[in-house]
Amino acid sequence: MGLEQVMIETEVQVKPEKKTVEPVESRVVIQLEHIHKIYQTGDIEVHALRGVSLNVHEGEFVAIMGTSGSGKSTMMNIIGCLDRPTRGRYILDGEDVSELSKDDRADIRNKRIGFVFQGFNLLSRTSALENCELPMIYAGIPAHERTERAMEALHSVGLQGREYNHPNQLSGGQQQRVAVARALVNRPSIILADEPTGNLDSRTSVEVMEIFQRLNREKKMTIVVVTHEPDIAQYSKRVVVFKDGKIKRDYQVQDRLDAREQLEAMAAQPQEEDDDDE
């Protein structure tokens, strides 16, 4: 064997192997294991959930869909620690919360989860700023920090100059923005929104979804939205469909809608109509 051949073989032997880097999967923050929920109505047992298992990873944007009575609202109540499963385990951010007391669940809700509801749930005789401060009062946060955080949250949802308006001085969309800001002030890791666009017109619904998409994109917040509207679900990354207390479908959204792009198109539309009139 010649010297040149020996050198070539030596180079081949010492050449470092290429290592395939496996993608790092984000951690599971919501883990449901064989969840059952049974309500007792007199002598009748109502099975709202029938052995549901579901994982939601950090930074996901999930829409939960289903008809009335499908189990989606019951699922949201369990995820939000508003209710406990009859059977099964619920692990929230690494902690088993299935058997926690009512007070312990309330503490977790206040620290880890931000809620947005269809009906806004604002106190009518208090300002937007004061409504946002309420969760922080329960959390024992000092007054000066409460004001600072509430101001920051209201500004983040586009309500500069509206901090001292009462709910009756705000539109439905502005009230929902206050509700979103209130959900953010305790800096939760998860936002749960139950039909957040149910009382809003089409444009305002897109504005609310733009806020959720921005929070998910920029702050990597985990967002779970319950909705019966397929077009609203298209703003999420993943859709979980419930039927008869079970998960019927679980899929990644194709052709996801971008709320920011839609708002820009809506803003341009009146001008286009004016041009046509000319």
167: CATH? 3.40.50.300
Question: Is 12 within the bounds of a domain?
Answer: no
What is the helix (H) or strand (E) element at residue 195, kind and residue range?
none
Q: At what angle do helices 172-184 and 202-218 cross, to 10 degrees?
A: 20
Task: Kindly state whether residue 209 falls inside one of the protein's structural domains.
Answer: yes
Q: Where are the alpha helices (DSSP H) in 57-201?
A: 72-79, 102-112, 128-138, 143-156, 172-184
Asked if the structure places residue 116 within a domain, the reply is yes
Within a domain: 40: no
Q: Has residue 99 been placed in a domain?
A: no
In this structure, is residue 120 part of a structural domain? yes
For the chain, how many structural domains are there in total? Answer: 1
Domain span at residue 253? 58-78+105-267
Distance of alpha carbon 51 from alpha carbon 37, whole angstroms: 8
Question: Which of left, alpha, beta for 91 (phi over 0: left; psi -120 to 50: alpha)?
Answer: beta
Q: Are 32 and 60 in contact (CB under 8 A)?
A: no
**φ and ψ of 271, to 5 deg:** -65, -40
Query: 101 Cβ partners below 8 Å, 6+ apart?
Result: none
Contacts of 93 (CB under 8 A, 6+ apart): 29, 112, 189
Residue by residue, pLDDT tens for the chain (278 residues) are: 554 444 444 444 444 444 433 444 689 999 999 999 999 888 899 999 999 999 999 999 999 999 988 999 999 999 999 999 999 999 999 999 988 899 999 989 888 999 998 888 899 999 999 999 999 988 889 999 999 999 999 999 999 999 999 999 999 999 999 999 999 999 998 999 999 998 899 999 999 999 999 999 999 999 999 999 999 999 999 999 999 999 999 999 999 999 999 999 988 876 544 444 44
- Looking at the domain assignment, is residue 42 inside a domain? no
Residue 224: inside a domain: yes
Identify the CA nearest to 82 among candidates 93, 68, 97. 97
